[in-house]
Structure 1
Amino acid sequence: MATIKAVLRPKPNAQGQYPIAIRITKDRQSTYIFTGQYLADKDWDKGKACVKKSHPNSARLNNLILSKLAEANDKVIELETQKKGSSAKSIKKSVAGEKEGTFLKQAQIYLDNLKKSGKYNRHNNDSPKIERVKEFAGGDIAFSDITVPFLRNFQAWMKGTRQITERTVVNHLVIVRSIYNQAIQAGAADLKNYPFGKGKISIKFPDSKKVGMTKEEIAMLETADLPNIGQHHARNIYLISYYFAGMRVSDVLRMKWSDFQNGRLYYTMGKNSKTDSLKVPEKALALIDQYKNDTSQHDLVFPFLKTLPDLKDEFEVQKYIKVKVRSINTYLKTIATDLKINKKLTMHVSRHSFAQVSADKIPVQILQKLYRHSNITTTIGYQSNFSNKDMDDALNKVLQ
């Protein structure tokens, strides 16, 4: 519970008088609301925290102080009953009538912007994370109350009460940080209260296990007899992704016949709008040729998005792609079972599979270009999940 007291601040004005203020203290942090009144030090009763009766306006000044104290106490009680506590600064802002931004209000702006930008996947993934912050906080929360202790308690709550993995916990913190940053830029939050950074909350993703298919398993997939049309299309999409160095499934499904010129594929990546060009491998060409007679709407190579009325509505396109990828992954799972491949077979694994097969065979500078990574350190870090030759050779030398 916050404590509230009237005090005389130590810095005098030009007349040598000191400002009368209301001090709000919580969790050993204090802030001050100034009454606009000044007083000589000799007229202040420090023990009783009021103006001495010897002052000619003592009654009026003490009534002003009492009204400010009562107002502050009312706000403390109100805020304490609405939330899981509040900081001295947020109490001050509430008493003073200052409009401090709140997390949920800024989060709604964040989500609205994602929707306007057509980013369905991020909108869909981030919405429940924001709801989880709301659940933990017991409602909306001022940015000044999103402190290091609050975030540490939030992390512990997610791990303990909600049984959420470490990586997902970090993803929640990333969203909170993004919304906090936007609030600072919009003037809805104060940079000095920022809880992230050195000595505060640092965000570091834990290592995750990445396993791709081996060359032999890819060969099994290529030669498998798949009479089920759903499995057939799913296998083709997976292999096209693999043949084009782990191309993202959203880019595969958007492929158009006009993207192929002079034996090359020219396309724009959906994730970051980067343009790229790749030679069309013979294996990829053989699969793509299967769809030449299927006159799909929008000039699309593959039939998955042909029922969409408008490919320019990016939000709806991403929403539809998510549904189709879920269906493709379901078919891939049945294929893995039929072929006795004891690995999780999804479209995302096609990227890992290319990395698995290319490990120690392709220079990292070339891999960087194939993966469309902006920074080579990203490529090195990613490829290290699959390249074990140096460690294997070292171990063999010791054990031989």
Structure 2
Amino acid sequence: MIRATIKIVLDGKPMANGKHAVYLRILKNRKQKKISLGLYCLKTHFDNEAFTKHHPSYQTENEILLNLKSRALKIIRAFKINGQDFTLNEFEDEFRGIKKNQNIKVIDFFKEIIEEMTRAGRISNAKAYNDTKNSLIKFKGKHFVFKDVTPAFLEKYEVFLRENGNKNGGIAFRMREFRAIFNKARKRKIIPKEPYPFEDYKISKLKIEANKIALTLEEYKRIKSVDLVKKPHLLEAYNYFLFSVYTRGMNFQDMMHLKWSNIRNGRIYYTRSKTKGKINLEIIPPVQKILDYYKAQNRPTEYVFPILLHTDLSPKQIAYRKQKVLSRYNSKLKEIAKLASVDKRLSSYVARHSFATILKMKGASIEKISEMMGHTDVSITAAYLKEFADEDLDIENRIFIDL
């Protein structure tokens, strides 16, 4: 039950000219908010929520007060009729005419956010949002608005996604993207905070099974010894994959930004792009061999790998370059897997997972590797890493020298 009271009051503190500001006070759940009405008077000219006859233009201004109080009561009544709870700030926005427009089309707002991400160089995020946007268009068209999105709407969207072959993981991904858009609209005060359909529709109910793909020790050896004499175009992908495995599963983003200045005194020092954790690892001989290969290319850039070809690229150019090279890299890894008779969908992530899995198979402590590449939350992985000395991890990492 929504309980709120409205009253016209004077501010207790007079201004320099001796007059007091007139406020509309709303009291709700033992909390109050005073909204200035732009009217002022002497304390002796105000009584019982109205100006006395001694106040100049008291009749006109009393009529204004009645209209303002009436508007406030209508707003509260509208909230009650709609069964919609409200905050004091939301009441003030309604009272002042700062109306949150739930009639804004969801797809239009999606496009606005996608454009912002694209300009900021967040191409992967923009693509993910665009895919969700297109999915919603197929489900409901282009013209539905935020107020149409209810828990029932989300349940039906989930059914639509299942009918189109999506499993829990894919559905949860789409729902998280949709929820993020909803939250952005609320944060920007484009729509009110309530109602909030994702309070009743729980994305957490979509249990996601881990979908780790990792090479066995035997598969790893086949990849490592694959003959590329007749397939020189695959050498780049081969080097990237092995380098990732050898360097504790360094991800593609970090490899892309790795600079020669990160390499000192036989070690690699870098900051992980996802967790911002500091990594300090020994350069084992197989890693040195790959580094020597790229050093010999004598390219005029500070980057180790020929992924970013210039140092003055904009964020957008970097994002496009990453997407282009990563796509090519993953495509070539599938060719390598076929040549090596490995029946797994090889990708850059498989290198990260294989690092942890192979160490486990070779008897490394689970506490040390923490099966980290299988965690969905990379911050957990970083937390485990911090518990062990770099030297300890170096010892485990040397396993790859003689494989």
Q: Is 2:256 the partner of 1:248?
A: no
- 1:78-157 pair list within 5 angstroms: 98-101=99-102, 102=104, 103-157=106-160
Give the superposition deviation at 1:139: 1.7
Alignment correspondent of 2:192? 190
- Which residue among 208, 211, 220 is the counterpart of 1:209? 211
Structure 2 contact 360–366 (Cα < 8 Å) conserved: no
Question: Which AA in structure 2 matches 1:342?
Answer: D
**8 Å contact kept, 1:183–1:189:** yes
| 1:173 shift after superposition | 0.4
Q: Is the 8 A contact 1:120 1:316 kept in 2?
A: no
Unpaired stretches in structure 2, ≥5 consecutive residues: 8-81, 85-93, 386-403
Contact map agreement 2:247 2:281 (CA 8 A) in 1: yes
Cα distance in 2 for partners of 1:200, 1:290 equals 53
Residue 322 of structure 1 and its aligned partner are, at CA, apart by 1.6
> Structure 1 residues 113 and 205, CA, compared in 2 at 3 Å: closer, same or farther?
farther
Other-structure match for 1:52: none
What's the counterpart of residue 22 of structure 1?
none
| Counterpart Cα distance in 2 of 1:168 and 1:159 | 9
Q: Can you give the 5+ residue segments of structure 1 that lack an aligned partner in the other structure?
A: 1-10, 15-86, 381-400
Equivalences for residues 8-19 of structure 1 within 5 A: none
Question: What SS is found at the alignment partner of 2:294?
Answer: coil
Q: Secondary structure of the residue that 2:269 maps to in structure 1?
A: strand
Q: Deviations over 1:179-238 (max 9, x none)?
A: 1111111112222211113x4333345103322112222222223331222212211100
Change (3 A) 1:291 1:150: same
Residues 135, 337 of structure 1: alpha-carbon distance in 2 compared, 3 angstrom cutoff: closer
Using the alignment, how far apart are the partners of 1:299 and 1:12 within structure 2?
67
Q: Superposed, which structure 2 residues align to 1:1-400 within 5 Å? A: 98-101=99-102, 102=104, 103-160=106-163, 162-197=164-199, 199-203=200-204, 204-227=206-229, 228-306=231-309, 309-359=310-360, 361-367=363-369, 373-375=378-380
Q: Is the 8 A contact 1:257 1:301 kept in 2?
A: yes
Q: Quick check: 2:330–2:348 contact (8 Å CA) kept in 1?
A: yes
Partner SS state of residue 156, structure 1: helix
- Judged with a 3 Å threshold, the aligned counterparts in structure 2 of structure 1 residues 281 and 347 are, in CA distance, closer, same or farther, namely same
Distance 1:326 1:174 in 2: 24
Inter-partner Cα distance in structure 1 for 2:5 and 2:179: 40
Give the direction of change, closer, same or farther, for the CA distance of 1:183–1:125 in structure 2 (3 Å limit): same
State the distance in 2 between where 1:375 and 1:298 align: 34
**Residues 312, 305 of structure 1: CA spacing in aligned structure 2 closer, same or farther, 3 A cutoff?**
closer
| Residues 269 and 205 of structure 1: CA distance in aligned 2, closer, same or farther (over 3 Å) | farther
Residue 369 of structure 1 and its aligned partner are, at CA, apart by 11
What's the % identity of the aligned pairs? 21
After superposition, the Cα gap between the structure-2 partners of 1:176 and 1:379, relative to the gap in structure 1 and judged at 3 Å, is farther
Equivalent residues of 1:259, 1:266 under 8 A apart: yes
The DSSP-based 3-state class of the residue aligned with 1:374 is: helix
Q: Secondary structure at the match of 2:379?
A: coil
Partners of 1:118 and 1:268 in 2: how far apart? 20
Offset from partner CA, 1:51-97 (integer Å, 9 cap, x none): xxxxxxxxxxxxxxxxxxxxxxxxxxxxxxxxxxxx999xxx9xx99
Q: Give the deviation of 1:377 after TM superposition.
A: 10
What do you get for the CA RMSD once the two structures are aligned? 3.3
Give, in whole Å, the separation in 2 of the partners of 1:120 and 1:315: 7
Give 1:163's aligned amino acid: G
Which amino acid in structure 1 is aligned with residue 335 of structure 2?
A: T
C-alpha distance after superposition, 1:17-43 (max 9, x if no partner): xxxxxxxxxxxxxxxxxxxxxxxxxxx
| Cα distance in structure 2, aligned partners of 1:12 and 1:234 | 69
| One-letter amino acid of the counterpart of residue 278, structure 1 | L
| Equivalent-residue separation in structure 1 for 2:181 and 2:369 (angstroms) | 34
Give the secondary structure class of the aligned counterpart of 2:270: strand
In structure 2, what is the Cα distance between the partners aligned to 1:147 and 1:282?
Answer: 58
Q: Distance in 1 between matches of 2:251 and 2:302?
A: 19
| Alignment size in residue pairs | 290
Closer/same/farther in 2, CA of residues 305 and 377 from structure 1, 3 Å limit: closer
- Give the whole-Å Cα distance in 2 for the aligned partners of 1:149 and 1:367: 43
Describe the SS at the equivalent of 1:291.
Answer: helix
8 Å contact kept, 2:245–2:355: yes
Structure 1's consecutive aligned runs of 4 or more residues displaced over 6 angstroms after TM superposition are 11-14, 377-380
Q: Give yes or no for contact 1:195–1:201 (8 Å, CA) kept in 2.
A: no
- CA 1:117/1:274 → structure 2, altered by over 3 Å: closer, same or farther? farther
Q: Structure 2: how far apart are the matches of 1:369 and 1:149? A: 39
Distance in 2, matches of 1:224 and 1:163, equals 36
CA distance in 2, matches of 1:370, 1:175: 25
* Alpha-carbon separation, structure 1, partners of 2:83 and 2:149: 13
User: Is the Cα–Cα contact under 8 Å of residues 123 and 319 in structure 2 kept in the other structure?
Assistant: yes
